[in-house]
Structure 1
Amino acid sequence: MIFHLLLLMLLSDVGKSSASNITALEKQIFHYIDENQNKFVQVLKEWVAVESDSIQPKYRQNITQMIEIAKDKLQALGADVCIINLPIHQQQDDQNSALPPVILAELGKDENKPTVCFYGHLDVMPAKKADGWETDPYILTERNGNLYGRGATDDKGPVLAWIHAVEAFRLQNLKIPVNIKFVLEGMEEAGSTGLEDLIKNENERFFSNISYIVISDNTWLSKSTPALTYGSRGNACFAVTVEGGVKDLHSGAAGGIVHEPMSDLIALLDSLVDSSGHILIPGIYDDVSCIVEEQKKQYEPIAFNLTEYKADVGVTTLLYDTKEDILSHLWCYPSLSVHGIEGAFHEPGIKTVIPRKVIGKFSIRQVPDMNLTTVETQVKQHLRDVFAKRQSPNKLTVEMTLGAMPWFADSREPQYEAAKKAIKKVFQKDPDMIRDGSTIPIASMFEKITKKKVMMFPIGASDDGEHSQQEKISRYNYINGTKVFASFLLEISELHKD
């Protein structure tokens, strides 16, 4: 009880030191959000309870249920909601599965106002308590000010923060200062299947009059300093297959007299990257944009604690030991990671078998101005050259199984300026301007198709553990995230008046 009282005092005190910058309207909105924070947490609890796992097709009906819940929530605020059904999707083994629908919703059609389009997703990664969760992942549990549950930060919490921000206007009979649109899907964790075609089909209608697209599907770089994201790396995923004879072999009967596919594959994977993280594929760095001095200067004010970062990652040593080197290699240089080998024996104990076919899986995170087609060509040629030197009779196949382009934005654009002002009012500090080392395909997808400006506007902290066994969002971030989104709508409106 004492903790909750202290937290309530902290939340209500936000902005007092900069009260002169907060308008009377914002004070009214912030007060409403503070007064209704327990209700907002309860709604998040109800949303987390829906096991909307998009990875396993058997849970697709739960995603449809989640879409209906979100639709009702938006309609209650007066939004015009359109449910777009997606086509049947063919899964592996020729199994067909109905894709969950997508929500396209809008509030306001004033031609004199800017239109902000928010994208979010309602699906989650698989989770079960046996994976190592301390609590049931589908029962939102508050502990020490943190709200634990699958989807709490990725992405149900941020989606609800946007909806609650709109609610703070609507339920107080206040005019929303912008037109706002929502795109809510249920297949993001499974690759946003079907969404690209929908965006193309709606580009001349739903997306035609929007000013900005905002995505809140990543996290800050630190636990306490807010951030705005202006870039992310792309990703090229590869499968390299080595196939030998017609069957698995006993190592006692054939070991030492056959060309083993596993030995070939290990040699191929070992040729990709050295122990310092440098990619060994010829030409891979040729198109990488140089890190200019202006970029390095942006690192200086960023709140980055090396000890804290290593603790979050769960390691004692990194490849680099300065903030500048770590951020440069995380954001501005490509990286190559080996993810697994399919076909190899992996159960406890030992199975003395030579597998006839093995598949190695790896990915390359790309940065501007790398080209997907060029990367694919370089990887395939390199692996063929290495394989040829082994003079193996086995069959080699290399396939790029997934490709997503990097995304980069100009952090000086109006939407970023409005977000900076909102963050300063709510969190009383300037945000870190960061790039994301991971891949957010939806950002580049939206930008490429709609030709609109995209901004990443996270509210989750670096230790929220999206996809992990203890995923959470703090009550502080959830409630103040709602405030900062409401303030952003006001700020972007003011910029358009100037």
Structure 2
Amino acid sequence: MKKIFRKEHASEKKEDEDEEFERSTRHCRCKHCPIIHRKKLTEIDIDRLEKKLKTVQYKIDEDVDQQLRELAEFVHIKTISDDVECLKETVKAIDLMANKLEKLNFKVEEFQINQRTTTCAEVPPQKVLFATYFSSPTKNTLLLYLFLDVFPTEEENSWFKNPFSLSDSDGILYGRGVTAGKGPAVCWLQTFRTWKNLYHDLPVNIKIICEAMHEVGSVGVHQIVESRTNFFDDVDYVIFSFNSWLNDERPVISCSLCGWASFGLEVRAGNKTLDSGIAGGLVYEPMTDLCHLMNSLVDDRHRVLVPGIDSMTRPIGQYEWQLLHQAEYGEYFYAYKEVLDVRRLKHEVTKIELLRNRWCKPSLTMHGVEGCYSGHGSQCALPLTVIGKFTIKLLPDQTVSHIHVYVQEYLNSKHAELKLLTDMHLMVIDGCDPYLWSMESKHMHGIRNAVSSVFRVEPKMSSLICPCLPMASFIRKTTKKTVIVIPFTNRADRRMQINESIPKSRFINNTKMYAGVLHELSLMPVRCKCDVIRDYCLRRGFGEILDHQMLPRQSAPPKKMKNLRRMTNIKTLTVLPQDYQDSNTKSNDAPTTKRRKSSFKKLLFRPTNILKSSK
């Protein structure tokens, strides 16, 4: 028993107060936990908070010019992450965001990305921004994912004006990044600034992840997020601003995220690469067998031939069919072709089939082959081991494990049917299950109220219209936190297109909607996080410091008079003893001072003598 006690005692010393640790109980150790004993909000409190929200939204309308100047400052930075020459600008945008957050009392940390996109020494390494604003442990914590890089502008001559200079024409804002990336980031900054200027604090705790490599697949960001899992311990909600409106009049809020299953199909006939001039015609070539197997996954119309995949998805109900009919997509076919830079789209004859295949059906995409020659020119290499890579998009009720079984059984049957004499092996390279949450949860009702109160229309909510947001799915998979997807752009907004634009009124309304989101999520129940963060309820943030400064200062009574009040049968002392009065007239040398204090000290403990002398 002594040895066990010593081991436990030694392990407790190694624990840091700011790091994650495990408890034997999930209850808070603090007897007076401010989170568990939090007072419930009354109707008067809710009315007071709603008045604060209206004041903030009114102030946002007044500070439009300041917000547009800030947006122009970000748009002016040419943050094209796909262009090596613009990587310096992406670092500049991250530094600008860090400076603005520090002015709002955010604690900012920067992490360098290990994977370099170029070997040029003049290009600085890319960075990821982690920012934290801690107000109080009695408030919910929101995590915002922001990015500042933009899609390349290949045909700048087709723009009305310079794409990297914000322009306002007839109430419409033109500029690269106003509808995605820079636009939502500026709206969040203006929301924080307005709350701070009016009330010196935010209604919730905020955490931010900001990057500038989103358009190239967030290179290196995933590794940093996985290494910083303690950053997400106290997070309650993760918010993304990627969703779009259903049409020009009604926004839609998705309650699901797509998943994916990335496979590697390995075909092997040997362990080394041969020369085709020597070994050609003598060995079974894995590249030929791989083409046969990959081709068997889809038909000539690119429909997935693996049996059982479509049967695992949820059937489309009447509500979702109505949403597909209400969606405005027909007149944006040409704009969508322009974004994808293609001549034709599948199912472009009917709008319903196109949207159904985009939102409500799984799809298979082939990426490439590892182990074969893919450079310029020709080569006489004959690889004996090749790996074909493809990904299947998953929808709710599908899982990576089930899809793996179906694909494995199908390829085994095809391998035997084609009588291939090479070895085949299917492996899962990466995968993430789709995520589905309830439309009737409390926080989703709050998001609905925040959207409807600003745009004066009830948003549509759906769990089968699944947006494909790889970063959102990755953060959900890593942190297991609640994800919220907020609509930002409209169907008429030219997102990532030539002359990218958004109406100024909708841009300002999005800022007010963000303020409403902070307000609604501040009303949600708060959980104690002492089970994952030691003494979390005892931490002091800006909210506690502000409340302490606003408390009225009470002057304490002198110590000696306080002792006199504690005496029994004595209320006040108006006349001092005669010997103390006489001693007070003597010279103020050191011995006399000592004697005077000691005599008065004795009298303090003789209340009867004090009463007699006072008479």
| Shorter-chain TM-score tier | 0.7 to 0.9
SS of alignment partner, residue 232 of structure 2:
coil
The one-letter code sitting in structure 1 at the alignment partner of 2:65 is N
1:210 aligned residue (235, 260, 269): 235
2:97 aligned residue (70, 73, 84): 70
Stretch of structure 1 that moved more, 306-315 or 386-395:
386-395
Structure 1 gaps, min length 5: 1-19
2:155 pairs with 1:137: no
Aligned CA distance change for structure 1 residues 129 and 179 (closer, same or farther; 3 Å): same
When normalised by structure 1's length, the TM-score is 0.75
2:429 pairs with 1:406: no
Query: Residue 267 of structure 1: CA displacement?
Result: 6.0
Q: Does structure 2 retain, via aligned residues, the 8 Å contact 1:260–1:354? A: no
- Give the equivalent residue in structure 2 for 1:106: 132
- Give the equivalent residue in structure 2 for 1:440: 469
Q: Does structure 1 retain, via aligned residues, the 8 Å contact 2:442–2:524? A: yes
SS of alignment partner, residue 458 of structure 1:
strand
Matches within 5 A, 1:78-477: 79-89=105-115, 99-129=125-155, 133=159, 135-173=161-199, 175-204=201-230, 206-236=231-261, 270-274=295-299, 278-285=303-310, 288-291=312-315, 293=317, 296-297=318-319, 300=322, 303-308=326-331, 310=333, 312-314=335-337, 318=347, 321=350, 323=352, 328-337=356-365, 363-372=391-400, 375=403, 378-379=406-407, 382=410, 403-434=431-462, 437-477=466-506
Query: Residue 467 of structure 1: CA displacement?
Result: 3.7
Q: Does structure 2 retain, via aligned residues, the 8 Å contact 1:116–1:180? A: yes
Paired with 1:373 and 1:267, the residues of 2 have a C-alpha distance of 24
May I ask how many residue pairs the two structures share in their alignment? 463
Aligned CA distance change for structure 1 residues 140 and 243 (closer, same or farther; 3 Å): farther
Q: Does structure 2 retain, via aligned residues, the 8 Å contact 1:81–1:103? A: no
Q: Does structure 1 retain, via aligned residues, the 8 Å contact 2:290–2:388? A: yes
Query: Residue 109 of structure 1: CA displacement?
Result: 2.5
Stretch of structure 1 that moved more, 466-475 or 88-97:
88-97
The one-letter code sitting in structure 2 at the alignment partner of 1:37 is V
Q: Does structure 1 retain, via aligned residues, the 8 Å contact 2:156–2:163? A: no
1:61 aligned residue (70, 88, 109): 88
SS of alignment partner, residue 153 of structure 1:
coil
Aligned CA distance change for structure 1 residues 71 and 94 (closer, same or farther; 3 Å): closer
Query: Residue 281 of structure 1: CA displacement?
Result: 2.0
Paired with 1:353 and 1:316, the residues of 2 have a C-alpha distance of 35
Paired with 2:162 and 2:430, the residues of 1 have a C-alpha distance of 33
Paired with 1:336 and 1:493, the residues of 2 have a C-alpha distance of 41
Paired with 2:276 and 2:497, the residues of 1 have a C-alpha distance of 36
Please list the CA deviations of residues 345-387 of structure 1 after superposition, one character each: whole Å capped at 9, or x if unmatched: 9x9xxx9999989998754221133333554565576567657
Q: Does structure 1 retain, via aligned residues, the 8 Å contact 2:140–2:236? A: yes
Q: Does structure 2 retain, via aligned residues, the 8 Å contact 1:147–1:473? A: yes
SS of alignment partner, residue 209 of structure 1:
coil
Q: Does structure 2 retain, via aligned residues, the 8 Å contact 1:102–1:183? A: yes
Paired with 2:268 and 2:382, the residues of 1 have a C-alpha distance of 6
Please list the CA deviations of residues 307-333 of structure 1 after superposition, one character each: whole Å capped at 9, or x if unmatched: 34545545698368475x665543332
Paired with 1:398 and 1:131, the residues of 2 have a C-alpha distance of 47
Aligned CA distance change for structure 1 residues 479 and 131 (closer, same or farther; 3 Å): same
Stretch of structure 1 that moved more, 98-107 or 412-421:
98-107
The one-letter code sitting in structure 1 at the alignment partner of 2:232 is F
- Higher Cα Rg, which structure: 2
Q: Does structure 2 retain, via aligned residues, the 8 Å contact 1:122–1:155? A: yes
Please list the CA deviations of residues 450-495 of structure 1 after superposition, one character each: whole Å capped at 9, or x if unmatched: 2321101121123434443443333232111001000121122234
Aligned CA distance change for structure 1 residues 436 and 211 (closer, same or farther; 3 Å): same
Please list the CA deviations of residues 243-263 of structure 1 after superposition, one character each: whole Å capped at 9, or x if unmatched: 9997899xxxx9xxxx99999
Please list the CA deviations of residues 177-206 of structure 1 after superposition, one character each: whole Å capped at 9, or x if unmatched: 2222222122222333343343344333x3
Identical-residue share of aligned pairs (%): 26
Q: Does structure 1 retain, via aligned residues, the 8 Å contact 2:113–2:126? A: no
Aligned CA distance change for structure 1 residues 359 and 418 (closer, same or farther; 3 Å): same
Paired with 2:495 and 2:390, the residues of 1 have a C-alpha distance of 22
SS of alignment partner, residue 172 of structure 1:
helix
Aligned CA distance change for structure 1 residues 334 and 85 (closer, same or farther; 3 Å): same
Q: Does structure 2 retain, via aligned residues, the 8 Å contact 1:149–1:472? A: yes
Query: Residue 297 of structure 1: CA displacement?
Result: 2.8
Q: Does structure 1 retain, via aligned residues, the 8 Å contact 2:256–2:437? A: yes
Aligned CA distance change for structure 1 residues 427 and 247 (closer, same or farther; 3 Å): farther
The one-letter code sitting in structure 2 at the alignment partner of 1:291 is P
Paired with 2:226 and 2:72, the residues of 1 have a C-alpha distance of 34
Query: Residue 242 of structure 1: CA displacement?
Result: 9.7
CA RMSD of aligned residues (A): 4.5
Q: Does structure 1 retain, via aligned residues, the 8 Å contact 2:243–2:253? A: no
Q: Does structure 1 retain, via aligned residues, the 8 Å contact 2:145–2:210? A: yes
Query: Residue 35 of structure 1: CA displacement?
Result: 2.2
1:25 aligned residue (52, 55, 58): 52
Paired with 1:237 and 1:95, the residues of 2 have a C-alpha distance of 34
Paired with 2:360 and 2:267, the residues of 1 have a C-alpha distance of 33
Query: Residue 47 of structure 1: CA displacement?
Result: 0.9
Query: Residue 36 of structure 1: CA displacement?
Result: 2.1
Paired with 2:494 and 2:89, the residues of 1 have a C-alpha distance of 23
Aligned CA distance change for structure 1 residues 218 and 261 (closer, same or farther; 3 Å): farther
Structure 2 gaps, min length 5: 1-46, 338-343, 527-615
Q: Does structure 2 retain, via aligned residues, the 8 Å contact 1:133–1:469? A: yes
Aligned CA distance change for structure 1 residues 91 and 226 (closer, same or farther; 3 Å): same
Aligned CA distance change for structure 1 residues 317 and 372 (closer, same or farther; 3 Å): closer
2:509 pairs with 1:485: no
